[in-house]
Amino acid sequence: MTTNNIAIQAVELTKRFGDFTAVDAISFEVKKGEIFGFLGANGAGKTTAMRMLCGLSIPSSGKAAVAGFDVYKQTEQIKRSIGYMSQKFSLYEDLTVKENIRFYAGIYGKSDAFIKEKTAFLLKELRLEAEASKLVRSLPLGWKQKLAFSVAIFHEPEIVFLDEPTGGVDPVTRREFWNMIYQAAESGITIFVTTHYMDEAEYCNRVSIMVDGRIDALDTPAALKRKFEARSMDEVFLKLARKAKRSGD
């Protein structure tokens, strides 16, 4: 099913809970190495869609392939091919920096030699060598989030899903975080990211906006602004999300 340069392909992907349609026949493609922004108001269906793409929830209907694997039948292969990080949960606070890396890399079946070499490189890159044996709990939030991202791509996945990775992070660290995203994308990793910061939507190659379970807009930030005659992505988002009938999460 692998089509060379497509990382994610969804066709009429749908999820119903009883008579509630959380995700309503969404179709889109994400190219390899692309930074894809997945936006939407609370309750629009982003989390449900993301869970299906990560192989954690079986769709009600429609088709989707992630890293070439089918979201119905090949969920284990999908999980092996992706990385995941969210604002709410990412690292174990009661493990040290090094233990967290070791733990995640171990889960993905990486060899001891690989882990050892890459851990040293990573700690140096993040300038966390002095903190390697400290509990993650004691790190400032910004460091935690940068470490969490590094851990999420440690096993060199094809795609990484980032669920509001920068919520509550200071503006300087937020930009350092996006710098890491750019580097990862340049190394060929596909980035699938959600955010409530509309300036970050501008950093994406393309952006989709979900409203009431459907994708109402999908294009580059520049094209979206032209189409909706808006000066910023914030305006585009407000114009679309104000139409929403559903509310809350």
Q: Is the dihedral of CA 212, 213, 214, 218 positive or negative?
A: positive
- DSSP-assigned letter for residue 96: B
Query: Which residues on adjacent β-strands are paired with residue 36?
Result: 192, 206
Q: Is 218 in the site for another protein (CB under 8 A)?
A: no
Give 81 or 208: the residue with its C-beta nearer to another protein.
Answer: 208
Q: Is 62 in the site for another protein (CB under 8 A)?
A: no
CB within 8 Å of 225: residues ≥ 6 apart: 231, 232, 233, 235, 236
Restricted to residues 132-161, the positions that interact with another protein (CB under 8 A) are: 138, 140-142
DSSP assignment of 128-170 equals -GGGTTSBGGGS-HHHHHHHHHHHHTTT--SEEEEESTTTT--
Q: Phi first, then psi: what are they for 182, rounded to 5°? A: -60, -45
CB within 8 Å of 127: residues ≥ 6 apart: none
Query: Which residues on adjacent β-strands are paired with residue 161?
Result: 84, 192
Looking from the CA of 36 toward its CB, the CA atoms found within 13 Å total 24
Q: According to CB under 8 A, which one of 20, 109, 229, 242 is a site residue for another protein?
A: 242
Part in contact with another protein (CB under 8 A); list of ranges 15-23, 40-48, 51-59, 94-102? 40-48
Residues touching another protein, count (CB under 8 A): 38
Q: Is 40 in the site for another protein (CB under 8 A)?
A: yes
Give 161 or 178: the residue with its C-beta nearer to another protein.
Answer: 178
The minimum distance between CB 42 and another protein, in angstroms, equals 5
Q: Is 91 in the site for another protein (CB under 8 A)?
A: no
Part in contact with another protein (CB under 8 A); list of ranges 58-66, 91-99, 101-109, 164-172? 164-172
Q: Is 42 in the site for another protein (CB under 8 A)?
A: yes
Q: How far does CA 123 lie from the centroid of its chain?
A: 23
Print the binding letters for residues 166-195 with another protein: x by CB under 8 A, - otherwise: -xxxxxxx-x--x---x-------------
Site residues for another protein per CB under 8 A: 40-43, 138, 140-142, 164, 167-173, 175, 178, 182, 196-199, 202-203, 221-222, 232-234, 237-238, 241-242, 244, 247-249
